[in-house]
Structure 1
Amino acid sequence: MNVLGLFVPGRSVLHRLPAGAKILALLALVTVLVALDDHAAGPVATPAAALACLAAYPASGLGLRRPLRLLVPLLPFLAVIALFQALTGDPRAAFRVCLLLVAAVLAAGLVTFTTRVSAMLDLFERLARPLARFGVRPDRVALVLALTVRSVPMVAAAWQESRDACAARGLPAWPHLTVVPVIVGMIRTAEAMGEAMTARGVD
Structure 2
Amino acid sequence: MISLYLPERTWLHGIAAGHKLIALALVSLLVAPFDNLALMAGLLLAVLALYASLGRAALRQLSLLRPMAPLLVLLLALHAWNGDIWLGVSLCLRLLAMILLANAVTMTTRMDAMMDAVEPLLRPLAWFGASPRAVALAVAMMIRFVPLLFALWESLNEAWRARTGRRGGWRLLAPFCIQTLKLSHHAAEALAARGGAPRGDTR
The one of 26, 29, 33 equivalent to 1:28 is 26
Tell me how far apart the structure 2 counterparts of residues 179 and 162 of structure 1 sit (CA, whole Å).
10
Q: Paired residue for 2:200?
A: none
Tell me how far apart the structure 1 counterparts of residues 88 and 146 of structure 2 sit (CA, whole Å).
23
8 Å CA contact 1:15–1:114 kept in 2: the answer is yes
Superposed CA RMSD in Å reads 1.6
Q: Paired residue for 1:13?
A: 11
- TM-score by structure 2 length? 0.90
8 Å CA contact 1:5–1:150 kept in 2: the answer is no
Shifted more, 191-200 versus 175-184: the winner is: 175-184
Q: Paired residue for 1:109?
A: 103
- TM-score by structure 1 length? 0.90
Q: Establish whether residue 189 from structure 1 lines up as the match of residue 187 from structure 2.
A: no
8 Å CA contact 1:4–1:147 kept in 2: the answer is no
8 Å CA contact 1:163–1:178 kept in 2: the answer is yes
Q: Which runs of 4+ in 1 moved over 4 A?
A: none
Deviation at 1:78, TM superposition (A): 0.6
Q: Establish whether residue 202 from structure 1 lines up as the match of residue 196 from structure 2.
A: yes
Tell me how far apart the structure 1 counterparts of residues 17 and 3 of structure 2 sit (CA, whole Å).
14
Amino acid at match of 2:6: V
Superposed CA deviations along residues 27-77 of structure 1, whole A, max 9, x for unmatched, are: 11121111222xxxx22221111111112112112342102x221110100
Q: Paired residue for 2:201?
A: none
Count of residue pairs brought into register by the alignment: 196
The one of 132, 139, 142 equivalent to 1:138 is 132
Amino acid at match of 1:179: L
Long gaps (5+) in structure 1: none
Instruction: Quote the sequence identity (%).
Output: 35
Q: Paired residue for 2:141?
A: 147
Counterpart secondary structure, 2:196 = coil
Shifted more, 14-23 versus 58-67: the winner is: 58-67
Shifted more, 97-106 versus 56-65: the winner is: 56-65
Tell me how far apart the structure 1 counterparts of residues 135 and 113 of structure 2 sit (CA, whole Å).
14
